Structure 1
Amino acid sequence: MVDYIANLSDRNFFQTRGKLEFTDNYIEENSIDLKNENIPRNSAGPTHWALNEGPTHWALNEGPTNWTLNEGPTHWALNGGPTHWALNEGPTNWTLNEGPTNWALNEGPTNWALNEGPTNWALNEGPTNWALNEGPTNWALNEGPTHWALNEGPTHWALNEGPTHWALNEGPTHWALNEGPTHWALNEGPTHWALNEGPTHWALNEGPTHWALNEGPTNWALNEGPTHWALNEGPTHWALNEGPTHWALNEGPTHWALNEGPTHWALNEGPTHWALNEGPTNWALNEGPTHWALNEGPTHWALNEGPTHWALNEGPTHWALNEGPTHWALNEGPTHWALNEGPTNWAFNEGPTNGFL
C-alpha cells in the first residue's frame, strides 16, 4: 500500500477502510511502481514542525515562560508554599474539610438522611423514578415511533417543510391572508373599524353587556364565589394538586422509576448513551470530516458566505425586493401613502364619518 494522492474521479481508484487501493488495471494504465521510493508521500510539513518542535512550541512548553508558570517561585508559592499549606493543609482547611462541621454536613446522620437514606432512594433510585425517567413510558415519549412520527417522520415534514407548509406560510394563500386586499379589509378597512372601534365593539367590550359578564354578579359567581372556591381552593383542588395522587406522580416510586432507575441509566449514562454522545459515531457527526464538510468546508461556505448567499442576501435581487423602487413603491411611495396616510385613510379613520360613528 502506498501513500498516493489519486484523482478521485478515476473509476479505477477506490478507498477501503481508510486506505487507498488500486486495481491492477489502474496500476498498469498509470505505470505505478508500488516499490518506487520516489512516489510522493505525506510528511509532517512546516506547520507540524512549528507547532510541535519549533521556537513557539519551545517557548510555551520548555522556555522561561513555561518555567515561570510551572516550576518557578510563583508556581511554588501557589502549589507548595505557606499560602498553599494554609489553604489546603493547615487548620483552616482542616476545619472546613475534615473537622466536625464537615463531618456533620458530609458524613453525619443528616447527610445520610438526605443523600443515602430511604427517602433519597425513593426519590432518586426507586421504581417510581425508573418508571418516569427510564421505563417504556419514557422511551415511548422520547424515542419511540410516536416521538419519531411527531418530530422526524413524514408528518413532521409535511407540517414544517413540505408543500403544505409552503402554501400556508409562503405561497399565494399566505399572501392573500396576510398581505392582500382581504387582509386589508379584515385588519384596516371599515369592517375592521366596525368590529374593533365602532358601537358594536363598544357594546361588547365596554357597555352593560360587558359589565354583566366581566364585573357583575355572574362574574363574581364564576371567579370569586363558592363554585370558584370549590374548583380552585377546596378539597377537589387539594386532591389533584397536593394529595397522594399528586405525590405518586411527582415524588413517589413511579417518579423514581422514570427519572432514576436502570432504564434512565441506560439512556443517559450507559454504553448506548456513550455510543451516541461520546463514541466514534458522535465524533463522526460532530467533529469528523463529514461535520467539517457541512459546517466549515466549501459546501458550507457556498451556502453561507459564497456568491449564492451574497446574491440572495446582499446582491441586486435582494436590493430590488427590500430596498429598490419596487419596495419603495409598496412601502413608502404614493400608493402606500394613499392607502395609509392620504385622504381615504383619513376619512375612514379620523374624519367626520369616523367621529360620527
Structure 2
Amino acid sequence: MRAETLAIHAGNLYNISTQDVTPPINLSTTFLRNEDGGYSGGHMYSRVSNPNRSALENTIAELEKGADACAFSSGNTAGMSVFQAFKPGSHIIAPDDMYWGFKRQLQTIFADTLSIDFIDLTDIELIKQHIKPNTVMIWTETPSNPLLKITDVAAIAEISKANGLILACDSTFASPCLQNPIALGADIVMHSSTKYIGGHSDVLGGVLITAEKNEFWEKIRNIQQIGGAVPSPFDCFLLVRSIKTLSYRMRGHCENGMALALYLQNHPAVETVYYPGLPTHPGHEIARKQMSGFGGMLSILVRGGAAEARRIVNQVKLFAQATSLGGVESLIEHRASVEGPDTKTPQNLIRISVGLEHIDDLIADFEQALAVKQL
C-alpha cells in the first residue's frame, strides 16, 4: 500500500463488539490475566504497552518501512534512549549543527560516559577520518536544524556497515512521507512526533523506528518499557488521527515552502536562503535523490545582523513567534536566542516553519515586515 493508504488504515483498532471505525481511546492502565497467568488481550500494563500506543507504533513502523517502532513522551526522550543504550566509553560521531537539544544532552548528561565528535557530515572523507576503535554510531540529521544541511544517508550507510557501526537518522524535518532513511541503509530513524507527525502543535511525542529487531533494539525497547517515558493513550490517539492527513499536509508544506523560499531568495533584505529545494543549495542534488519533497522548513540570513532579525520576527503578523515547527500554522523564530550563548547558529538567522495558510498571504506578511526597513 502507498503512504496515503497506510496512514489511514495502519492504526485502526477495530473493536469486535462495537465495530468502531475510528480507533477508541483505551485509558486502562492494567489488563486482565488468563487463568494460566497469560495475557490473551496482548497487553499487561500500560507502561509496557497499550492498544493506542501499539496502533501508533505499528503505523509509524509501516510508514518508515521498518521492522518495529518505539513511541516516547518526547523527541528528546526518544533520542536520549538511543544514547542510553550504549556502554560507557563508546564513541559517537554526530553533526556539527546537530539539533541543540540533543547536542546539550551529549555535552551534559552523557559528558562523563560517552565520547562525541561533532563534525560536518556532508564531508564523507572527514567521517572516515573520525572513526575510532570505540566508535559505535554515526548520528545524522537531514535536513538539519536550523541550517538545512543535507547529508547523503546512502553514502554514510556504506561507511557505517563497512565499520560495523549503527547509523541513526533524525528525519524530523522530512517526515516519513518525504524520506525513508531505512530504505537508504539507516539502522534507526528518529522523529519528534511533536512536529509534522502531530502537525497541530497540540501533542508532545517522539518515536524511534528500527530496520530490524536485533539486540541493540531490545535494549531500546527495554529502556522504553522499564524507564517508562511513554506517551499517554490520548497522545497516541491524537498522533494516529493526525497521521491520517500527513501525506496531504506535507504536500501543502512543500508547496508553500518552495514558494516562500523563491520569494525570499530574490528579496534585497535577505542575504541567504537555506532551503534544499533551491538549485543553489549545496545539498540540492542529494536531497533530490533521497527525498520525494523538500519540506516546509527554511532558514534565512537577513542583512543587518541580530537586531534586524529580531525586528523582523516581531514585525510579521501571520507567522507566530514561537518555538517548534511542523504545525498547520506558520511559525518564525530568531533561533540563536533560543539556543543560548554557546550557539553556533548565526545571529542573523531566522528559522521559518511554513504552514498551510494561503501562500499569497504568507508572502504579503513578509513583504510588509521586510519593507519597514530596507537595507
- TM value normalised by structure 2: 0.17
Structure with the bigger percentage of strand: 2
Structure with the bigger percentage of helix: 1
| Bigger radius of gyration | 1
- TM value normalised by structure 1: 0.18
